[in-house]
Structure 1
């Protein structure tokens, strides 16, 4: 599944990068987080709960900042498992200055396998789209709060 979009920030690109490259701050944008374990500045693990129709439980995803080019580009990849399923995700963000602060163009690629995938494409896509929207909105709020 691929999702993409853009949003404006009332903060300069440098503040976006300060938040997005800090695992503790970035992980606060992810809904239903139970636990965050920071391994080093480029690697962290997030444990979160998911509810997808009749399937409820915990997923654990190892994230890595694959490419960081402040203040204009960031790529985060994640690989995880849980609920007899696997997940691979890649999030890319291009950041540019704008009159209001910054513009962020983003894309998210997600591949799901196992039990979660067997629930059905439409349900997975709908729930995933909602979660991605929540992450983007939460990240926007965190960055703008940090800029004040």
Structure 2
């Protein structure tokens, strides 16, 4: 009996070693944080490390990379935002992984959440999934030519009644 428990324990460790570093819920929450708060959240979580800052159109775009070398490479980009005439800032978060299974997991999480699938299709390079609700517009891409996937979550302007 002890042998079976030990084997199950090792199997669980193996599953955890290839686990995804961030959930769909975490990605959507990153869009609600300011750039400084998102930076702190990612660094203090000790899952991602700050890689570099890119300045584009006067905006500081930060790139983070997963720390665990046993997990396929995952990156997160924050700092891409749109300022509306009302002063509201709409933020965008991009997640990229070298394991397409991670994007499939995020698709399942989006379906189980309150997002509606608006489009499912493909082009020459990617399988494309688009989700939408009152707060977020989500585009998910799984490459058909390379072993990678990308998720882009854009915050939407919510107009209450």
User: Which has the larger strand fraction?
Assistant: 1
TM-score (norm 1): 0.37
Q: Which has the higher contact order (CA 8 A, sep 6+)?
A: 1
Structure with bigger gyration radius: 2
